[in-house]
C-alpha cells in the first residue's frame, strides 16, 4: 500500500463520524459533507508524522471549519421563514460504532436543543461528550482556556438534559404509532387522530418560505387536529399521495411524495403510548438528498 493509499484509508475510516459531528454542528447534511470534504483536502496537506491521533486531529479541523460556517448560518436563520428544522437524515446513521447513546442520537429534539446553544457551547459539548476529546484538546481546538471549555460544555449539557426525553422510547411503539397516524390521516378519521396525540403534543412544519407550512409551531392536540383537518380540506389531492415508511433522524417516520412529485418527510416522537411531537420538513432545499 502506498503512502497516499494509507492516508486515504485512514481518513475514510473516520468520514462517517466526522460527518455526524459536522451535521450536529450545522444542522445541514449537505453542508456537513462539504465541511468533511474540506477537511479531507487539508488532511492531504498536513504533516502526518506530527499527528499522533488522526481522529482527534480531524475532529478539531472539522469543528473549526464548522464554526466559520456558523457565522453566516446564524445570519440566515435570523431571516428564516417559519420554524427551522434540520435537514432530515433518512434511513441511515452518520456515526461509526462507538459507546454511548449521544454518539448515535440524531433526533430532531436534540438538534433543536443544539441549535439554541452558542457555537462555542455546541462545539465544546460535541467535541468532549460525543467525539471523545479531553478538555485540554478541546481548549486547543477552540483556542480557549481549558476551564472555560469545561464551563461551556457544562452549560450545554444542562440545556440538553432538560430538552431530551427522560426515558428511552420503544422503536416498535414508534413504528406502530406512526403507521396508525398515517392510516387515520389518509382515511380522515379525526377521532383516531385525537386518540393518538398527546394532549401537549407539538407540530413543527418547515417550508422555509418556499412551500406552504405553518409559520409557528402548533401546540396542543386540539390545535394540531384542527390544523390537520384544515390541510385535508384545502388539499383534496392529499389522499393520492404516496407514503414510504422510513427512519427519519433515528425515529419512525415517512417519506411522502405528493401527486406533483414534491417530497416531504415526517418524523414522530412518542411518549407513554402517544405521539408527542411531529416534525414535517417541506423546504425543497433540505430534501434534495431524499429519495422516495
**Which CATH superfamily does the domain covering 3-163 fall into?**
PhyR, sigma-like (SL) domain (1.20.140.160)
Residue 261: pLDDT band (50, 70, 90) is confident
Find, among 211, 48, 20, the residue nearest to 131 by Cα: 20
Of residues 5 and 204, which shows the higher confidence score?
Answer: 204
Cβ(217)–Cβ(204) under 8 Å? Answer: yes
Distance CA 193, CA 240 (A): 19
Are both 3-163 and 171-286 of the same fold? no
- Name 21's Cβ contacts closer than 8 Å, sequence gap at least 6: 59, 62, 63, 66, 126, 127, 130, 131
Give the start-to-end residue ranges of the domains of the chain: 3-163, 171-286
CA distances, 53 to each of 33, 61, 66, 276 (Å):
22, 13, 20, 42
Q: What string of H, E and C letters represents the secondary structure of the chain?
A: CCHHHHHHHHHHCCHHHHHHHHHHHHCCHHHHHHHHHHHHHHHHHCCHHHCCCHHHHHHHHHHHHHHHHHHHHHHHHHCCCCCCCCCCCECCCCCCCCCCHHHHCCCHHHHHHHHHCCHHHHHHHHHHHHCCCCHHHHHHHHCCCHHHHHHHHHHHHHHHHHHCCCCCCCHHHHHHHHHHHHHHHHHCCHHHHHHHEEEEEEEEEECCCCCCCCCCCEECHHHHHHHHHHHHHHCCCHHHCEEEEEEECCEEEEEEECCCCCEEEEEEEEECCEEEEEEEECCHHHCCCCCC
Q: Is the pLDDT of residue 29 over 80?
A: yes
Q: Render pLDDT for 273-282 as a digit per residue (tens, 0 to 9).
A: 999 999 999 9
- The CATH architecture to which 171-286 belongs is Roll (3.10)
Q: What's residue 99's pLDDT?
A: 44
How many CA atoms lie less than 13 Å away from 250 in the CB half-sphere? 19
Query: From the CB of residue 24, how many other CB atoms can be counted at a distance below 10 Å?
Result: 26
Average pLDDT, the chain: 89
Q: Lowest mean pLDDT: which of 94-103, 112-121, 249-258?
A: 94-103
Distance CA 272, CA 253 (A): 18
- Mean pLDDT on 256-267: 91
Q: Lowest mean pLDDT: which of 14-23, 111-120, 226-235?
A: 226-235
Q: Is the pLDDT of residue 87 over 90?
A: yes
Query: From the CB of residue 113, how many other CB atoms can be counted at a distance below 10 Å?
Result: 18
Cβ(181)–Cβ(166) under 8 Å? Answer: no
Cβ(265)–Cβ(88) under 8 Å? Answer: yes
Find, among 135, 131, 133, the residue nearest to 154 by Cα: 135
* Residue count (the chain): 292
Q: Is the pLDDT of residue 101 over 60?
A: no
Q: What's residue 175's pLDDT?
A: 95
Amino acid at each position: 500500500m502506498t503512502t497516499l493509499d494509507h492516508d486515504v484509508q485512514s481518513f475514510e475510516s473516520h468520514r462517517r463520524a466526522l460527518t455526524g459531528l459536522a451535521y450536529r454542528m450545522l444542522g445541514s447534511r449537505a453542508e456537513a459533507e462539504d465541511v468533511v470534504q474540506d477537511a479531507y483536502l487539508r488532511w492531504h496537506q498536513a504533516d502526518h508524522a506530527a499527528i499522533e491521533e488522526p481522529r482527534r486531529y480531524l475532529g478539531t479541523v472539522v469543528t473549526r471549519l464548522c464554526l466559520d460556517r456558523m457565522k453566516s448560518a446564524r445570519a440566515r436563520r435570523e431571516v428564516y421563514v417559519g420554524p427551522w428544522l434540520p435537514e432530515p437524515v433518512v434511513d441511515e446513521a452518520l456515526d461509526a460504532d462507538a459507546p454511548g447513546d449521544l454518539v448515535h442520537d440524531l433526533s430532531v429534539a436534540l438538534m433543536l436543543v443544539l441549535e439554541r446553544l452558542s457555537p462555542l457551547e455546541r462545539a465544546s459539548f460535541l467535541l468532549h461528550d460525543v467525539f471523545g476529546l479531553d478538555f485540554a484538546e478541546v481548549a486547543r481546538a477552540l483556542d480557549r482556556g481549558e476551564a472555560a471549555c469545561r464551563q461551556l460544555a457544562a452549560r450545554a449539557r444542562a440545556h440538553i438534559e432538560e430538552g431530551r426525553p427522560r426515558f428511552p422510547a420503544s422503536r416498535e411503539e414508534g413504528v406502530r404509532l406512526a403507521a396508525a397516524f398515517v392510516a387515520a390521516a389518509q382515511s380522515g378519521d379525526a377521532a383516531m387522530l385525537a386518540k393518538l396525540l398527546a394532549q401537549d403534543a407539538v407540530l413543527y412544519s418547515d417550508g422555509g418560505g418556499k412551500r406552504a407550512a405553518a409559520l409557528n409551531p402548533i401546540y396542543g392536540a386540539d390545535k394540531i387536529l384542527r390544523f390537520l383537518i384544515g390541510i385535508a380540506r384545502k388539499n383534496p389531492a392529499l389522499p393520492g399521495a404516496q407514503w414510504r415508511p422510513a427512519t427519519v433522524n433515528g425515529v419512525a417516520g415517512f417519506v411522502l411524495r405528493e401527486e406533483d412529485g414534491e417530497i416531504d418527510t415526517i418524523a414522530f416522537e412518542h411518549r407513554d403510548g402517544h405521539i408527542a411531537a411531529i416534525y414535517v420538513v417541506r423546504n425543497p432545499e433540505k430534501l434534495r438528498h431524499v429519495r422516495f
